Amino acid sequence: MAIIELNKAKKTFGSGHKQVDAMKETDFTAEKGELIAIIGPSGSGKSTFLTIAGGLQSPSSGEIIINDQNLSNMNEKSRSKVRLKEIGFILQASNLVPFLTVDNQMKLLDNVKKDNMTKKELDKLYEDLGISDLRKKYPADLSGGERQRVAIAKALYSKPSIILADEPTASLDSERAYEVMELLKKETKSNDTTTIVVTHDIRLIDYCDKVYKMTDGILKLQEKQESEELKTS
Amino acid sequence: MFLAWNEIKKNKLRFTLIIGVLMLVSYLVFFLSGLATGLASLNREAVDKWDATAIVLNVESDKSLPQSSITTDELNTIKGKETAVLGQLNAIATSGELKQNISLFGINPDEFIMPEVTEGDVFTNENEVIASDTLQDDGFKIGDELALSSTEEKLTIVGFTDSARFNAAPVLYGELSTFQKVKFGEGSEENKDQINGIVIRGDDVESITTSNDDLEVIEAETFIENLPGYTEQSLTLNFMIYFLFAISSVIVAIFLYVLTVQKISMFGVMKAQGISNGYLSRSVVAQTFLLAVIGVVVGFGLTLLTGAFLPSAVPVAFDIPTMIIYGLVLIVVAILGAVFSVLTIVKIDPLKAIGG
Ligand SMILES: Nc1ncnc2c1ncn2[C@@H]1O[C@H](COP(=O)(O)OP(=O)(O)O)[C@@H](O)[C@H]1O
Ligand SMILES: [Mg+2]
């Protein structure tokens, strides 16, 4: 079953002379348990795609359906509710609240949403991510890699159906980047979530089930052998 | 509360500063209110002690007790539950080195404006007086002979009473005849029905009437407001207090706004996550509430502490109910200051904050 669906979704910025087609008309679907990579050069429209898919902005035309909810005719308040319930964001820069400890980052979600992970599930998640010892620490006391792993924990904690990650490994060295991808893959499979990772690091696509390439606002599925070529080139 | 409290815990210095500012503002408000109350009672406490509904004065006196002159016969023209005659004059009392402006009240000891003594005895003879205990603070003692500026008569202090100041002067209570001797000297016999006004207790001011057109029934509060300088003084102080309310609102607004602007990207990230404007706004308001309550409570304590150490010459008097109301107003006003921040939060575009 498709958990997220984009039908003829298109995003245009500006008008007339200065018009930019950030994302041309796009059809896209993703299933449960899939780990999908979106690659492409800077400015090609990857973030635009991701934020539209996550209900952070509306498409200029076309529709977005997340877990059977059509976002097209929703206002920001309703979209915000869908985001809270269905989506976990992992961003390039840390998206942690500076004055909350790791544990309290999770507790904040308990304050605004029901049906998050149980204590046991969270313990296991911390274990998996190797951050069990960091519970009482503040973001400022963590290394970049640790922060990114906490951000992943936070995205997973609310048990979202979709995880959207925009260059989650950009601030990490390649070893850490591989670790993070490994973890995302593991969590995607064990929780049956759908994870879409935007990256321009071609070496990370090995971890993914499908690879899309974005070029000048056009999203195109890569065949396995095509992506192999991409890597070696 | 969760976000609000955790942020305060993490950024103690920053929030201590804000609490400090709120504390100083509330300290100032409380202190001014204490001063306003103190200066007001300096003028009115003797009148308040009568617990009267109204006072009848001569129309031509323009609501001024010393200027009013009537006779005890007028009692027949007045309808009211309980009456008390009152003669009053201002003078300077001297005893040795001590010199003080006083207000002499001539009364009938069996009427309701007769004060209870807190020390010493009541007057039983002519030229004996019960004095305001503020004179005691100035160094006057029981048994002191007072020479008055306007007469040869000498008055003797036989007792003291509290809450006895009228229009900033300590009161001396004596027999009506004592007052008449002081006022008319030789002619006191012919003028033994001369008084300044009649103080009346009744159910309400409407029930008190006089059939004499030359007399005027003045409600007690109106009478107080017409004491020289009273209204001007209380208006000035109240204006300062109201300005402080406005100022504290602006200060809180600016502080919170700066804090909020610094946190725009953090709020944006939380909004991207789906945390509602309502939750974030409530959190800012809750935080303001916490800061304001702490600031006001500390300011309150500090005011009372200062009050305890002030010399008695400083006319501060703390009226706790008024202070509680002012404290609540400060808290409400601080929360109004948070409105700007709430508007800012509502306007944050989560998309910009996460900067794609
Ligand atoms: N809010 C915006 N207003 C105008 N142009 C935008 C906006 N967001 C993105 N764009 C443009 O859309 C194109 C795609 O941007 P983006 O999706 O951020 O690319 P990527 O994430 O692949 O680097 C770029 O040309 C960018 O300048
Ligand atoms: Mg981007």
Same domain as B239, residue B141:
no
Residue A196: the pLDDT is 96
- Point out the residue among A50, A93, A99 whose CB comes nearest to the CB of B11: A99
Element spanning A23, H or E: strand A20-31
CA dist., res. B56 & res. A41, Å (int): 94
Contacts of B171 (CB under 8 A, 6+ apart): B46, B102, B103, B104, B105, B131, B132, B164, B165
Residue B244: the pLDDT is 87
- Per-residue pLDDT band for B290 (boundaries 50, 70, 90) equals very high
If you average pLDDT over residues A75-97, what whole number do you get? Answer: 89
- The secondary structure of A127-174 as a DSSP string is HHHT-GGGTT--GGGS-HHHHHHHHHHHHHHT--SEEEEESTTTTS-H
Q: Count of domains in chain B?
A: 2
A17-32 burial, b at 16+ Cβ within 10 Å, e below that, comes to eeeebbbebbebebeb
Same domain as B240, residue B180:
no
- Per-residue pLDDT band for B142 (boundaries 50, 70, 90) equals very high
- Per-residue pLDDT band for A168 (boundaries 50, 70, 90) equals confident
Interchain CB contact of B7 with A (< 8 Å): yes
Same domain as B141, residue B18:
no
Same domain as B78, residue B30:
no
Residue given tokens 């900067």 in the structure block = B355
CATH of region A2-232: 3.40.50.300
A89–B350 CB contact, under 8 Å: no
Interchain CB contact of B272 with A (< 8 Å): yes
Q: Which pair of structure tokens corresponds to residue B44?
A: 């009115």
Q: Is residue B263 in some structural domain?
A: yes
Contacts of A42 (CB under 8 A, 6+ apart): A200
What tens digit of pLDDT does each residue of B4-46 get? 999 999 999 999 999 999 999 999 999 999 999 999 999 999 9
List the single range of A153-157, A170-174, B306-310, B348-352 with lowest mean pLDDT.
A170-174
- Per-residue pLDDT band for B71 (boundaries 50, 70, 90) equals very high
Q: Is residue B217 in some structural domain?
A: no
List the single range of A106-110, B160-164, B186-190, B241-245 with lowest mean pLDDT.
B186-190
B6–A104 CB contact, under 8 Å: yes
Q: Which pair of structure tokens corresponds to residue B273?
A: 């996550």
The residue among B44 and A227 whose pLDDT is bigger is: B44
CA dist., res. B253 & res. B93, Å (int): 54
Residue finishing a domain among B207, B241, B274: B207
Same domain as B203, residue B62:
yes
Secondary structure of B196-233 in the HEC alphabet? CEEEEECCCHHHCEECCCCEEEEEHHHHHHCCCCHHHH
Write out chain B residues lying below 8 Å of A112, CB-based: 274-276, 279
- Strand spans (E) along B73-213: 78-79, 82-95, 98-107, 119-120, 128-132, 145-148, 154-161, 165-166, 169-175, 194-195, 197-201, 209-210
Is A42 near ligand 1, meaning CB less than 6 Å away?
yes
Residue B182: the pLDDT is 94
- Per-residue pLDDT band for B110 (boundaries 50, 70, 90) equals very high
Residue given tokens 């990772």 in the structure block = A197
CA dist., res. A192 & res. A173, Å (int): 28
CA quadruple B166, B170, B174, B179: dihedral sign: negative
Q: Is residue B225 in some structural domain?
A: no
Q: Give B120's strand partners.
A: B159
Residue A73: the pLDDT is 84
Averaged pLDDT of chain B: 92
Residue A1 has pLDDT above 80, yes or no: no
Residue A233 has pLDDT above 80, yes or no: no
**pTM given for the model:** 0.82
CA dist., res. A219 & res. A53, Å (int): 13
Asked whether the beta carbons of A37 and A29 are under 8 A apart, the reply is: no
B274–A87 CB contact, under 8 Å: yes
Q: What one-letter code names the amino acid at A104?
A: N
Q: What ipTM does the predicted assembly reach?
A: 0.89
Q: Which pair of structure tokens corresponds to residue A62?
A: 């076309």
Other Cβ atoms within 10 Å of B253 Cβ, number? 19
CA dist., res. B183 & res. B155, Å (int): 13
- Per-residue pLDDT band for B52 (boundaries 50, 70, 90) equals very high
| Closest residue by CA, ligand 1 atom 8 | A48
Residue B58 has pLDDT above 60, yes or no: yes
Asked whether the beta carbons of B178 and B171 are under 8 A apart, the reply is: no
| Closest residue by CA, ligand 1 atom 24 | A43
Q: Give me the residue spans of the domains in chain A.
A: 2-232
Q: Which of B270, B343, B329 is nearest to B33 (CA)?
A: B329
Q: Is residue B342 in some structural domain?
A: yes
Q: Is residue B168 in some structural domain?
A: yes
Write out chain A residues lying below 8 Å of B354, CB-based: 51, 56, 89, 91, 95, 166
- Per-residue pLDDT band for A187 (boundaries 50, 70, 90) equals confident
Element spanning A70, H or E: strand A69-70
Same domain as B193, residue B121:
yes
Q: Which of A72-76, A113-117, A201-205 has the highest mean pLDDT?
A: A113-117
Q: Give B216's strand partners.
A: B57
A93–B3 CB contact, under 8 Å: no
CA dist., res. A151 & res. A106, Å (int): 10
Q: Is residue B216 in some structural domain?
A: no
Residue given tokens 């005027």 in the structure block = B216
Residue A227: the pLDDT is 67
CA dist., res. B149 & res. B94, Å (int): 8
Same domain as B277, residue B134:
no
Averaged pLDDT of chain A: 90
* Chain A nearest C-alpha distance from B257 (Å): 18
Q: Is residue B223 in some structural domain?
A: no
Q: Which of B221, B166, B134, B200 is nearest to B45 (CA)?
A: B166
Q: Which pair of structure tokens corresponds to residue B348?
A: 């944050």
Same domain as B33, residue B65:
no
Q: Which domain holds residue B78?
A: 54-207
Q: Is residue B222 in some structural domain?
A: no
Q: Which pair of structure tokens corresponds to residue B71?
A: 């006779």
The residue among A8 and A204 whose pLDDT is bigger is: A8
Is A169 near ligand 1, meaning CB less than 6 Å away?
no
Q: What is residue B158's three-state secondary structure?
A: strand
